[in-house]
Structure 1
């Protein structure tokens, strides 16, 4: 059964590992990779990636991507969003902290932020405005 707008936005706002897909544009199947993401209901979804990474270059070329978040317990539920990239900007320390705090234990965040700022200098934030939604909770059939 499809989720209501409020249910799908709340689900997407939870810290699931997303599956990002973007057109490969070279005759290959779309690139699909796991990724951390951030979303607040009613806003843009954003990710961080290396500006010169394959994923970053493909998103830049396509101008859009899709992301799937799912869970299997207590029921199978998923939300998929697709839309255009509406901004790309260099990642800030605050954004790295926000994202890492969403996924890592509190005692690991500072060390990860320091590592990321030192080792991943070409990180950019790509913001996507969700345009198309697809969702279901298979336990509500």
Structure 2
């Protein structure tokens, strides 16, 4: 997966992770990958290998994040939200008619999304 570089203003001293040279300037000294945190000069970012391994600590929430980024961060082929929801349905919802056919209430769906975004895999369903 390619890096998701954005121009960044760093506080304090920082070095390019590709060439190991200092990032000079007061503002917009270089770029930083929003997924894995890789720091580089703008020119160096053009030749950085496309091997972005997202850092779970840098991901904010679950929803609205690129699916491949989320799967790479969790080293998984199936989103943990899907696993957790299916496990909950199998544990306590198999006797409910239309469990996979009828949509849930919008406010309950939003509450689940907020729980997953806030607590991740530890979300209490």
TM-score (norm 2): 0.24
RCO comparison, higher one (Cα < 8 Å, 6+):
1
Structure of larger gyration radius:
2
